[in-house]
Structure 1
């Protein structure tokens, strides 16, 4: 059962694009619309991803930032994450307004992270590609990868863990350390079919468990 209705997902994607384009024009953060569904004022984690249109998934990323924890009302978190993804992702130069004609906006609404308990070598069995996103945490280092990333790259569970360690700036086998914490979460993902186009729920295809 979905927490986020399709029409709410569409609302959030449209809002994310509006927030970015308005900020790029004026330098100001927009306020949540008056017609925001009441449910979207609940605090939830969210990420906004910007992808270049008609580019292979592995090369499409133009920005991705968000809030893993439910610290803001979802509507406000979406506005903030959208702006940060456009201008504050350290991997990319700030997006220019004219680029938005060729960028697809994607919004991922997250469940709260759940610590994976037990022996580190059992961790791959406790996650599922196509369902889970991961957070790796060790000391001051933290890395997060959304569920769709593992699907797009064709990783299995161990590869997903290793890549999340890399994202945290840690050795790829750090998920085997007792003092490394690994969290999993799920996401409901909505994206434009093309820039400013219809918004659809993005299905994730689980890997076969052979």
Structure 2
């Protein structure tokens, strides 16, 4: 799988999607229904794997869910992952509507996933903060996102051990399959805050939302209606089909 368009995305391209994610999540809490953003963007209308991770002001994960691949446009799959991370990740306290403006939203975009055929070759090409891992063995599977690897200062082998632990597997499990994927991670520290890309050796922003940003009420009832009531494709996975990101080992 290769999603070359992911490499062309900029923080400016992603900013309206982050704002729409907060709006869609607030709308979901208020109505228990999903509205998708009506953003006119050729790039955001393409498909790729996406994980949404929530963090509090101390950097603690509050939810993390996503898919390594999907045929749905990023505009829709990001909303699906956002809601799944908020209400369907049993490892963390459930998000509530009052959290939406203050939480840090993190979006990990997956550009390609490849099975590791040669560990030595993959080890040489591994870049912390850029690559993540997916492992599967029997009915068990687990994913380790690039930021989790970077935050934990893991080596290639350390990351493989970590993702195996998350999946309830060991590195010598018979028939185990390792996959390495390349990803880009964008972060918005709060409602209205600048969107930045997280890269190796770059300080993670902790700025608070701009005082000029809309409050939650304005966020729900803005003057311009820019959401769509289009329903998810019947081919898409339900929330239970999402993989869990984050560093919690009880996954």
TM-score above 0.5: yes
**SS of residue matched to 2:8:** coil
Q: Deviations over 1:88-121 (max 9, x none)?
A: 1121232111122431111111113111112x57
Distance 1:25 1:45, change over 3 A: same
Distance 1:180 1:29, change over 3 A: same
Gaps of 5+ in 2: 1-5, 203-251
Greater RCO, CA 8 A, separation 6+: 2
Distance 1:13 1:204, change over 3 A: farther
User: Would you say the 8 A contact 2:112–2:183 is kept in 1?
Assistant: no
Pick from 192, 198, 201 the counterpart of residue 205 of structure 1: 201
What number of residue pairs does the alignment pair up?
197
Q: Deviations over 1:150-204 (max 9, x none)?
A: 1111111111111100111112xx1x45621111111121111344422112223
User: Would you say the 8 A contact 1:108–1:189 is kept in 2?
Assistant: yes
Match of 1:138 in 2: 137
TM-score by length of 2: 0.72
User: Would you say the 8 A contact 1:45–1:66 is kept in 2?
Assistant: yes
Pick from 20, 23, 29 the counterpart of residue 28 of structure 2: 23
TM-score by length of 1: 0.85
Match of 2:209 in 1: none
User: Would you say the 8 A contact 1:143–1:164 is kept in 2?
Assistant: yes
2: CA distance between counterparts of 1:177 and 1:99?
A: 40
Distance 1:121 1:138, change over 3 A: farther
Gaps of 5+ in 1: none
**SS of residue matched to 1:39:** coil
Once the 2 structures are TM-superposed, how far is the Cα of residue 14 of structure 1 from its aligned partner? Answer: 1.6
Match of 2:225 in 1: none
Q: Which structure shows the bigger proportion of residues in helix conformation?
A: 1
Query: Aligned-pair RMSD on alpha carbons?
Result: 2.1
Match of 1:76 in 2: 76
Pick from 4, 7, 24 the counterpart of residue 2 of structure 1: 7
2: CA distance between counterparts of 1:27 and 1:18?
A: 13
Once the 2 structures are TM-superposed, how far is the Cα of residue 71 of structure 1 from its aligned partner? Answer: 2.8
